[in-house]
Amino acid sequence: MISLGLRSEGVREWNFTLRGMGDRELQAAAQLACEREVWDRCINTSDRTKAEINLAQRFPTPFRQDVVAAARQIGLDPAYVYGLIRQESRFIMDARSHVGASGLMQLMPATARWTAKKIGLDFKPEMINDREVNLRLGTAYLKLVLDDFGGSAAMAAAAYNAGPSRPRRWREGPLMEVAAWAENIPFNETRDYVKKVLSNATVYAALLEGAPTLALKARLGSPIGPRDGNAPAPDKELP
């Protein structure tokens, strides 16, 4: 069904078939999905196991050459980009959210147009699900947001999900460790999103690099508080 384009019907049938399966059966089913490149079923099925964990299934690296190249070309950590894509689309290239975001990096059409103009890319709306175009626009926008928030991966992830204006407000207050700041995000969806993107990125860093290169606290970055008075003014054009 999924290969025929009947994704919602195929997903329902897949999930029904998983009922009653133990860890080894779930891992076998997940492996089948991985081999067929049905990445959301691969991840979600492997996530159901209790005692036996397969990180390669739970955190796959599809399109690795393209993702790593796009990230490094613009100065982003590939593990961070992978962590965001896993949360955004589960690597489904034609994924579309209920609010209209599309593609691997789930770009809103207006954001895609703005970013394309910003980087000088000749863009047409029908190109948004093209893997190369979506990666280029998504990483470009993420880098702009990350720079606007002084390199804070947590605030950049919050901005990617909820728009830049909200984390600008949420940073006002006492200086807080990143984990505490994330726990105090007032939107349930964004709070969960930020925590998952950062935890995904930590696992991907270990998988891509062969071993963890940074302690978790170091990877989270500096405490979050009001913008430094000497820092550049926020980019109010960021959508």
Which residues form the catalytic set? 88
**Concatenated DSSP letters of the chain:** -TTTT-HHHHHHHHHHHTTT--HHHHHHHHHHHHHTT-HHHHHHHHTT-SS---HHHHS--TTHHHHHHHHHHHT--HHHHHHHHHHHTTT-TT-B-TT--BTTTTB-HHHHHHHHHHHT----GGGTT-HHHHHHHHHHHHHHHHHHTTT-HHHHHHHHHH-THHHHHHT-SS-B-HHHHHHT-S-HHHHHHHHHHHHHHHHHHHHHHSS--S-HHHHH-S-B-SPPTTSPPP-TT--
